[in-house]
Amino acid sequence: MNKRWTDRLATSVFTMIALVIVAVLAGLISYIVVRGFSQLDLDFLTSPPSSFREGGGIGPQLFNSFYILVLTMLFTVPLGLGGGIYMAEYAKPGKVTDFIRTCIEVLASLPSIVVGLFGLLVFVQLTGWSYSILGGALALTVFNLPVMVRVVEDSITSVPREQKEASLALGITHWDTIRTIILPAAFPGILTGVILSAGRVFGEAAALLFTSGVTTPRLDWANFNPLSETSPLNVFRPAETLAVHIWKVNTQGLVPDARDIADGAALVLIIAVLLFNLVARLLGRYVHKKLTSAK
């Protein structure tokens, strides 16, 4: 009965591994939630951080994170759509396509700090913008683009061939087929991908250290002039995001309650990521149902 015994042993070892992973996840999340929960209140979420005294909040950081996220998506989604459509519909097998595929692979495997260094060189020094929201968003676009292209390509290639062929057979041109037949069918997959990559961008920090900087100027929330220095909407001002803030208060702890701030900020970050994940799943499922089943 030796071999049956080893089989059982192996099964229990693998089960143990699975349990360990689930336990680690549960441990991490409950640790963050338990530590951060007492920090969360409206004041913490909206007030600006203080540099030396206790009791600072994360208001501007939270705003910056969302602002950079929106800008990044504004750049990434069209570019990613175009690139994905190219890879799925126009790319012919050959050297050029192989080369683009390699490029996507390279972009995807670049460490985010290297993307940050590139951003420092091009969007900070070369353009003369200094540390800016726009530079940060562009660096994150570089970081996010390969993911986006892959998501779009995968979603498009999983659209049934017959659907496309039927459209072409009716004499509708390739581009119109892509626009009116393929993209709507691929939409649920693309949407899920966009939301998931938004979560990734939201938590990214290393690429932003050198592009959007680690400071936020004093903001005047009533100032909606995007060219004014104190306006939150100004894309040429430096901006510290939530993830960068967590890193900063932990490593350059000038405030006495750095630990509490980091606890709260980490919880906000985790909640945001969980939300992005959940929304992506639910919305993906909903849109899928809406588009595929009978009304």
Partner 1 sequence: MPATQSVADRLLDKKKTIKKERTGKLVVYTCAAIIILTTLAITLFLVLRGIQAFVADGVSPIQFLTSLEWNPSRSAEQGGPVYGALPFIVGSFAVTILAALVAAPLGIGAAIYMTEIAPSWGRKILQPAVELLVGIPSVVYGFIGLTLIVPFIRENVGGQGFGLLAGMIVLSIMILPTVTSIATDALRSIPNGMRESSLALGATRWQTIRRVIVPAATPMLLTAVVLGMARAFGEALAVQMVIGNSRTIAESLLDPTATLTTIITLNMGHTVPGSTENNVLWSLGLILLVMSYLFIIIVRFLSSRRRFS
Least distance CB 163 / partner 1 (angstroms): 16
Q: How far is the CB of 288 from partner 1 (least distance, A)?
A: 18
Binding of residue 127 to partner 1 (CB under 8 A): no
Q: Does 73 bind partner 1 (CB under 8 A)?
A: no
Residues in region 207-226 near partner 1 by CB under 8 A = 209-210, 214
Cα distances from 103 to residues 79, 106, 220, 229, 250, in angstroms, run 15, 5, 42, 38, 36
CB of 195 to partner 1, least distance (A): 11
Q: How far apart are CA 48 and CA 7, in angstroms?
A: 59
- Point out which span in 49-57, 153-161, 232-240, 270-278 binds partner 1 (CB under 8 A): 270-278
User: Any contact of residue 113 with partner 1 (CB under 8 A)?
Assistant: yes
Structure tokens at 275: 């939300």
For the bound state, the minimum distance from the C-beta of residue 271 to partner 1, rounded and expressed in Å, comes to 11
CB of 227 to partner 1, least distance (A): 27
Residues 6-25 binding partner 1 (CB under 8 A) are 6-7, 9-11, 13-15, 17-18, 20-22, 24-25
Cα of first residue to Cα of last residue in the chain, in angstroms, is 57
Considering only residues 149 through 178, tell me which ones interact with partner 1, judged by CB under 8 A. Answer: 149, 170-176, 178
Are 143 and 74 spatial neighbours (Cβ–Cβ below 8 Å)? no
CB of 130 to partner 1, least distance (A): 12
Q: Pick from 30, 31, 285, 289 the residue near partner 1 by CB under 8 A.
A: 31
Residue with Cβ nearer partner 1 (114 or 287)? 114
Residue of 40, 45, 110, 233 interacting with partner 1 (CB under 8 A):
110
